[in-house]
Each structure stands twice: as structure tokens, then as C-alpha cells.
Amino acid sequence: MPHPLLRPPRLAALILLFATLFSGGCQLWSEPVRGARPPAATFGEYREIERDLEIRLGERIHYAYARLSLTPDSTRITITDEGGRLMVEMQYGQGRLNVKRTPYLPPEVSADDLIADLQLALWPLERLRAGLTPGWTLAADDEGRILRFNGATESRVDYQGDEPSSRPLPVYNARRDYLLILSPAAPGA
């Protein structure tokens, strides 16, 4: 007569229990899975920011315009092409994120990455770090910022001087291989 724990119904339950524990335990030591870049926390103050954008994809350059409407509790980013057509719109607040992408954004560019690149360049460091999830790190010094996932560079900002808001600001997206250049918006834009 087999041991009471090894009878068919109990044996199946034990096998299921060990399989569940084993597979769950393996996930504790595995590296985080890369998902979309996490959105930064809200900006933390009232601000309206406008920037002219160049999105360089190899030899092609797409010109765009970004308007950021920021409050302590919400973020709204609108990006239009040079014809004024909506490319991307993002609204974030009260824990809800809504991103709208249109066909005017080049297919090689992720709407989430484009928004995250704008935030990487313009947001206060503590707000960026507040939105990081496991696997993501942000290094920053006087020369720029580097966002990494599991040690691999995702995006890099080069400040090229003391006052980054007054001159063109390059953001290189290593994952999608494009260069985004933010420039102060032309008057009357």
C-alpha cells in the first residue's frame, strides 16, 4: 500500500504545488522583462513648454512641434508635424495614461519612446526617477543623462553647455536608432 501522500489525488496536488513554487521561484531571480518605458511622474508645477523638434532617422529628417501643458497633477503633450497635423498626443494624470498616435508619426518611431525622450530631456531628475520600475536606471551629471534598462543604454541626452533650455538639445534613442533634437520654439509658432 503506497504512502497516503502518494495516492493519485494527493500526488497530483503535490506535483502542482511543487511546479507552482518552482516556476514562481525562478521569476524571483530572473531579470525584469523590458516593457514600454515607464512614463515620468507629473512635472510637479505649472508650466507651458514649447519646442521645435527634428526627428532624424538615418538620412531623413521629420520636423515637428511639441507643446507641453503641465500642472502639479497632470501632463499633456501634443506633437504636431510641420503642417500642424497631430502626430502624438499624451495625457497623464491621476494614475491614468492615454496616448494617441496618428499615421503622421513615422512608423520607426515609438510614440511612447518619443514622449519619454522629451521627458528625459526636460523633466526634473527626481520626477524621472520616481517613475522608474525595476530594471531601469538613470545616470545624470552636468553633461547629460543616460537612461538604461538592465545596463543597456536606451536613450542619452547631451546638454552641450550650462543652459540647456536656450540651445538645441540632442536626445539619442539607442533602442530605435533615431536622433531627436529639441530647440526653443520659434516666436509665433
pLDDT at 156: 96
Burial 5-15 (b: 16+ CB within 10 A, else e): eeeeeeeeeee
pLDDT at 4: 58
Q: Which of 23, 29, 22, 79 is nearest to 49 (CA)?
A: 79
In this structure, how many other beta carbons lie within 10 angstroms of the beta carbon of residue 139? 11
pLDDT at 29: 42
> Which residues of the chain register pLDDT less than 50?
14, 16-34
pLDDT at 129: 92
pLDDT at 70: 94
pLDDT at 38: 67
How far is it, in rounded angstroms, from Cα 20 to Cα 182?
A: 49
Answer whether 0.85 is exceeded by the pTM. no
